[in-house]
């Protein structure tokens, strides 16, 4: 680490920067030379060229020279009329009378003014301009002034002076190192640039920001790779045995070629001698679950325990039952969810700890500290993008030795994003779907045409098929969600009295939910009116219509996943997206792409483009929120070059990274 750039400002004694200013900087966590140099201007005052009043445009800053030709003081307002050499006029307006300005600004005074232009009925005006008083013959000094973020107690002038001092002392702080970086700083502070450079400033600025983004991206990926190395921990070898074979035999179908290929990859992983980290991504309904199941049985065959985590109770229950149906009593499977009684829970945890349970299925409840295993060697995480990386790590830490880890995800993550987030994971992609799926026709529908949706439900039920009616809410409040569901349910009940329907939401006891789902599976109800609780895992091939209210509240990948609840049987399936009046242009565009594309990967890419990665993954989980310069969306194209750069990184670059990003990176990992 270079001591000079990380020197404390308090110790290097910058001329004209007193203890008050230092204190103000400290309050904003600006302590060192580099802290201050990374405090970039928000924008710049461009006083390089004078404008003529005739050329002024609204909402732009302008720098104008002229003579005051008239003064008005109606009420509290003070107005001065400025005339330029073309005899065009500009109103200067001060909404508070300021004695100092009034004294100096008189008819005949020659001034330069700088400020934002607006237009009213009488022409252009500038409110509260900055004023420079000039005498005849005075030299015109072009200026490009940085405007720094407001820091209480540190004036713009002192910030400029301090930056000027630091950049000026290049030898002292940079030595002969970091030439490119120094140049970035110079550009971004707009410091001593030549007129030519200032002319092409925008492209210079862009290049400098890109350079910093590159270094920051480099810092992030180096950390990620370090972590990857850490994660290459020795782990037990696992190979399929009798139980796995039994499961394979019990399947009512053959693995598709895609499934078989990934299954092979997983088996190879298990014999490498170090812990597997594999992400299996595949569109909704592509058949990922069985890959998880097979892996679980391999662990049991080898004499160890395995765990599988699902995002919802319904899904956990479903996995539990499927395993039971497929394997009977050949294996001891436990189900841990939030709805066990204390006694049930205690018993189950004891069995897990003693090793009496081979496979534990559960929800978030699995993270809890009280859950300890006798010999956990494999964790399968279903639909993982809903879990944070920290949660995943918590589960993996429950092994006494390194735990193999397999994640199944239905929200496909665009390649660059996957690389960025999961650098240490191997990725398998399941492209084809099991045979016998029918494409889903998707339509958008304005709320004013609700009747069409109601008719569709009637028609669907007439043909002895079933429907989902979804009312998603963005609020994370189950209470409000439940209310919304009840409201839609009442409305639908009234409009469609002949349809047998039930509401379903997260506020219901899980027993009640299971009961409703069972009624839906066995056909004794026609429609479920639900929140997103049905988003994953529900599988009823007889359901052929999906109506989604307020679809604009959800990500495309999520809508696609939701829609994947239908189209599971041999009948043609439909999805209706009912949008309200407030839908934006982008919103409409998004929904239309859903009608056009049936490929979750493509949709995820589109979503990334339209909404940005934060929205796609949840800003918190993405870990990208703490980046200063690197913007995943804007700088996606930098990821590959960054990865290529890593093996060739120089020690100077490494030093710079340490100076710049050590803290930020730690933060990223804490968040993760
Ligand atoms: P997802 O990838 O969305 O988790 P699932 O694993 O739930 O998908 O599989 C969806 C449905 O497809 C299930 O009913 C499952 O039994 C069935 N399925 C999975 N693999 C095959 C296959 N190879 N052939 C036929 N059906 C399959
Ligand atoms: Mg699944």
Beta carbon of 407 within 6 Å of any ligand 1 atom: no
- % pLDDT > 70, the chain: 88
pLDDT value of residue 282: 86
DSSP three-state, residue 321: helix
Q: How confident is the model at residue 618 (pLDDT cuts 50, 70, 90)?
A: very low
Q: Are 566 and 545 in contact (CB under 8 A)?
A: yes
Report the nearest-CA residue for atom 10 of ligand 1: 285
Q: Are 251 and 385 within 8 A, CB to CB?
A: no
Q: How far away, in angstroms, is 450 Cα from ligand 2 center? A: 31
Q: For 456-488, how does the pLDDT look when each residue is reduced to its tens digit (9 = 90+)? A: 999 999 999 999 999 876 555 666 667 788 889
For ligand 1, say whether the CB of 274 is within 6 Å of any of its atoms: no
Residues, the chain: 672
Ligand 1, residue 259: give the atom nearest the CA. 23
* Ligand 1 geometric centre to CA of 429 (Å): 15
Pocket test for ligand 1, best of 254, 311, 434 (most atoms within 8 A of CB): 434
Q: How confident is the model at residue 536 (pLDDT cuts 50, 70, 90)?
A: low
Q: Taking Cα atoms as reference points, which of 345, 244, 362, 347 lies closest to residue 303? A: 244
Half-sphere exposure in the Cβ direction for 308 (13 Å, CA): 33
Element (H, E) at 610: helix 600-617
The C-alpha torsion from 393 through 396 and 402 to 407, rounded to 10°, is -90
- Rg of the chain's alpha carbons, rounded to an integer? 32
CB of 119 closer than 6 A to ligand 1? no
pTM: 0.61
Pick from 254, 288, 289 the residue to mutate for probing ligand 1's pocket: most ligand atoms within 8 Å of its CB.
289
At residue 262, the pLDDT reads 97
Instruction: Tell me phi and psi for residue 475, to 5 degrees.
Output: -60, 140
Residues 6+ apart with CB under 8 A from 10: 22, 31
Distance from the alpha carbon of residue 615 to the mean position of ligand 1, in angstroms = 28
> Which residue bears the tokens 């049987």?
569
- Express each pLDDT in 316-353 by its tens digit: 988 999 999 999 999 999 999 888 999 999 999 999 99
Q: What is the pLDDT of residue 137?
A: 60
Token output for 358: 């081979």
Nearest CA to ligand 1 atom 17: 287
User: What does the pLDDT read at residue 672?
Assistant: 28
Contacts of 284 (CB under 8 A, 6+ apart): 410, 560, 561, 563, 564, 600
Structure confidence by residue, pLDDT tens digits, 549-579: 988 878 787 788 889 889 888 889 999 999 9
Domains of the chain: 49-141 (2.40.50.140), 242-430 (3.40.50.300), 440-597 (3.40.50.300)
Nearest CA, atom 5, ligand 1: 287
């Amino acid at each position: 680490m270079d001591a000079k750039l990380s020197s404390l400002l308090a110790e290097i004694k910058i001329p004209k920067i007193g203890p008050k200013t230092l204190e103000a900087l400290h309050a904003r966590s600006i302590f060192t030379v580099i802290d201050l140099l990374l405090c970039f201007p928000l924008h710049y005052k461009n006083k390089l060229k004078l404008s003529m009043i005739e050329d002024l445009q609204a909402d732009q800053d302008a720098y104008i020279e002229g003579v005051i030709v008239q003064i008005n003081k109606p009420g509290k307002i003070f107005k001065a009329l400025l005339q330029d050499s073309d005899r065009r006029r500009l109103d200067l307006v001060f909404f508070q009378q300021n004695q100092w300005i009034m004294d100096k600004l008189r008819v005949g005074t020659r001034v330069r003014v700088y400020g934002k232009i607006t237009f009213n009925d009488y022409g252009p005006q500038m409110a509260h301009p900055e004023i420079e008083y000039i005498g005849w013959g005075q030299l015109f000094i072009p200026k490009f002034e940085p405007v720094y973020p407001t820091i209480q107690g540190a004036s713009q002038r002192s910030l400029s002076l301090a930056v000027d001092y630091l950049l000026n002392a290049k030898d002292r702080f940079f030595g002969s190192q970091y030439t490119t970086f120094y140049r970035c700083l110079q550009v971004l502070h707009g410091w001593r640039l030549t007129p030519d450079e200032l002319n092409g400033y925008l492209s210079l600025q862009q290049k400098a920001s890109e350079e910093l983004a590159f270094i920051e991206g480099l810092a992030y990926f180096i950390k990620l790779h370090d972590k990857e190395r850490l994660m290459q921990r020795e782990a037990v070898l696992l190979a399929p045995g009798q139980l796995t074979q039994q499961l394979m035999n019990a399947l009512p179908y053959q693995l598709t070629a895609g499934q078989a290929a990934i299954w092979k990859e997983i088996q190879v992983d298990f014999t490498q001698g170090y812990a597997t980290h594999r992400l299996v991504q595949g569109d909704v309904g592509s058949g990922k679950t069985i890959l998880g199941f097979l892996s679980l049985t391999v662990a049991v065959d080898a004499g160890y325990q395995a765990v599988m985590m699902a995002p919802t109770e319904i899904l956990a229950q479903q996995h539990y039952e499927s395993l039971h149906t497929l394997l009977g009593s050949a294996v001891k499977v436990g189900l841990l969810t939030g709805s066990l009684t204390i006694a049930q829970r205690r018993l189950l945890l004891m069995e897990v700890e003693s090793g009496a349970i081979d496979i534990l299925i559960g929800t978030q409840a699995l993270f809890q500290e009280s859950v300890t295993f006798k010999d956990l060697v494999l964790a399968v995480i279903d639909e993982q993008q809903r879990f944070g990386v920290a949660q995943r790590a918590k589960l993996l830490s429950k092994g006494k030795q390194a735990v193999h880890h397999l994640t199944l995800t239905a929200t496909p993550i665009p390649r660059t994003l996957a690389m960025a987030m999961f650098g240490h994971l191997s990725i398998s992609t399941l492209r084809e779907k099991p045979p016998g799926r029918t494409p889903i026709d998707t339509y958008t529908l304005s709320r004013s045409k609700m009747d069409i949706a109601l008719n569709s439900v009637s028609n669907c039920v007439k043909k002895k098929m079933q429907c989902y009616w979804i009312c998603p809410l963005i609020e994370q409040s189950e209470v409000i969600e439940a209310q919304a569901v009840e409201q839609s349910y009442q409305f639908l009940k009234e409009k469609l009295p002949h349809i047998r329907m039930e509401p379903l939401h997260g506020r219901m006891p899980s027993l009640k939910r299971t009961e409703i789902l069972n009624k839906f599976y066995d056909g004794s109800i026609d429609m479920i009116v639900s929140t997103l609780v049905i988003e994953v895992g529900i599988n009823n091939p007889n359901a052929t219509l999906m109506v989604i209210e307020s679809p604009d509240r959800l990500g495309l990948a999520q809508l696609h996943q939701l829609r994947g609840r239908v189209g599971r049987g041999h009948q043609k399936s439909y999805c209706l997206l009912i949008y309200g009046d407030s839908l934006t242009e982008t919103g409409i565009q998004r929904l239309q792409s859903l009608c056009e594309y049936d490929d979750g990967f493509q949709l995820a890419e589109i979503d990334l483009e339209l909404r940005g990665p934060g929205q796609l993954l949840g800003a918190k989980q993405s870990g990208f929120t703490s980046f200063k310069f690197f913007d995943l969306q804007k700088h996606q194209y930098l990821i590959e070059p960054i990865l290529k750069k890593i093996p060739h990184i120089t020690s100077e670059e490494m030093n710079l990274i340490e100076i710049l990003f050590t803290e930020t990176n730690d933060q990223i990992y804490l968040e993760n």
